[in-house]
């Protein structure tokens, strides 16, 4: 199996619902979790009547041969493609405390902490610098700033009832030369198939309110295999030239003291998360106009001492005639 990187360039506004905020139409997230991506791929295969591929997909996911990251922001500045990763939910002990000189210094430290808290993503090339700052007990100031897009509140009218009722939908529009990228671990014979599925999904759209024309995208380029170098890790670090190189290195660091999850995760054993530093994320959704019970999963950016495989949940009930999958497998980088 190999890792592949693919980039989504959106041609329309998007509506990515956020269950953590109640799932209301007025609330959105700027990115997509791996479980939403997996569900969208499954629905696309059903609409194409490709149940053979759907069965293969779920079997390969359950066996660990296929796994997906969440989708994260990217931006292109000139010839520089900047890939961003989630900020690690990590606080290390043992670092020296920053000494406060005076009241002005205290205000600057406070402002820097607030800014860092709002900074959900860090450029891949800067992840090592971030870890060094955290270990030293220092505040990290990002060198690269992300300008992915803007959100807008749109007024709509529901005409299905006896009386027309207005409602509001919040949408997100990606700026020019920005979008989302993901990482997929795939067997070699799945590469072309996955690319065709994603190209087809781009026409169908991803996220909510697709019937209103939201969520359409094209692949920025063909999916790219992330090939490791023959150099040893120490030498490779000195040869890094872009974010892709850094991600290749981090995916390969299975022995690092911290492993950061790049996808929503449902651990097989709740005890396994002890000793980690993580956040939980509320997940919910609909299928065939039926709302599923909400569950809590580990969010991308959570860090653990070892890589946990996670699982693919079947949320179907007694009255359902087919499985209803919720993706919860893990993909990791070493920190």
Residue 55: count other Cβ atoms within 10 Å of its Cβ.
11
Q: What are all long-range contacts of 194-203, with beta carbons under 8 Å and residues at least 24 apart?
A: 194/4, 194/223, 195/6, 195/219, 195/222, 195/223, 197/41, 197/44, 197/45, 197/53, 198/6, 198/8, 198/41, 198/223, 200/44, 200/48, 201/40, 201/41, 201/44, 202/8
Whether the CB-CB separation of 28 and 154 falls below 8 Å is answered with no
What does the pLDDT read at residue 248?
Answer: 93
Per-residue pLDDT of the chain (335 residues; tens, 9 = 90+): 799 999 999 999 888 877 655 556 666 788 899 999 999 999 999 999 999 999 999 999 999 999 999 999 999 988 889 999 999 988 755 444 555 555 665 565 555 556 556 678 999 999 988 888 877 777 777 788 888 888 787 766 666 666 666 767 788 889 999 999 999 999 999 999 999 999 999 999 998 878 778 889 999 888 999 987 655 544 444 444 689 999 999 999 999 999 999 999 998 887 778 888 888 888 866 555 555 667 889 999 999 999 999 999 887 666 666 777 889 999 999 99
Q: What count of Cα atoms within 13 Å lies in the side-chain half-sphere of residue 122?
A: 24
Q: Is 51 exposed, middle or buried (0-12, 13-18, 19+ CB in 10 A)?
A: exposed
Tell me the two tokens of residue 279.
């956040």
For 3, 117, 224, the CA distances from 230, given in Å and listed in that order, are 16, 37, 18
- Give the pLDDT score at 273: 82
pLDDT of residue 238: 45
Provide the whole-model pTM.
0.85
pLDDT value at position 30? Answer: 82
**How far is 134 from 105, CA to CA, in rounded Å?**
19
User: Facing residues of 80 across strands?
Assistant: 77
Angle at 162 between CA 158 and CA 167, to 5 degrees: 20
């Amino acid at each position: 199996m190999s890792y592949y990187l693919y980039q989504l360039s959106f041609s329309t506004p998007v509506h990515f619902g956020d269950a953590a905020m109640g799932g209301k139409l007025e609330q959105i997230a700027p990115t997509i979790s791996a479980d939403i991506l997996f569900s969208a791929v499954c629905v696309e295969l059903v609409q194409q009547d490709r149940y053979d591929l759907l069965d293969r997909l779920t079997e390969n996911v359950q066996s660990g041969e296929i796994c997906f990251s969440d989708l994260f922001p990217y931006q292109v500045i000139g010839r520089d493609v900047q890939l961003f990763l989630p900020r690690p939910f990590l606080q290390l002990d043992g670092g020296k405390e920053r000494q406060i000189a005076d009241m002005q210094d205290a205000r600057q430290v406070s402002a820097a902490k607030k800014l860092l808290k709002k900074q959900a993503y860090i450029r891949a090339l800067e992840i090592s610098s971030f870890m060094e700052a955290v270990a030293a007990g220092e505040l990290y100031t990002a060198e690269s700033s992300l300008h992915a897009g803007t959100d807008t509140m749109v007024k709509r009218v529901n005409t299905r009832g006896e009386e027309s009722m207005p409602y509001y939908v919040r949408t997100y529009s990606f700026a020019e030369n920005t979008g989302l990228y993901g990482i997929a671990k795939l067997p070699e014979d799945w590469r072309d198939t996955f690319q065709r599925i994603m190209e087809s999904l781009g026409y169908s759209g991803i996220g909510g309110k697709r019937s209103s024309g939201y969520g359409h995208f094209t692949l920025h380029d063909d999916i790219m295999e992330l090939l490791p170098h023959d150099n040893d890790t120490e030498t490779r670090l000195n040869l890094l030239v872009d974010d892709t190189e850094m991600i290749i290195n981090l995916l390969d660091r299975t022995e690092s003291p911290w492993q950061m999850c790049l996808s929503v995760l449902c651990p097989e054993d709740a005890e396994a998360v002890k000793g980690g530093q993580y956040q939980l994320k509320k997940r919910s959704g609909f299928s065939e106009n039926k709302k599923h019970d909400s569950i809590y999963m580990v969010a991308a950016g959570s860090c653990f001492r070892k890589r946990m495989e996670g699982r693919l949940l079947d949320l179907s009930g007694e009255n359902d005639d087919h499985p209803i999958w919720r993706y919860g497998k893990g993909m990791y980088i070493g920190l």
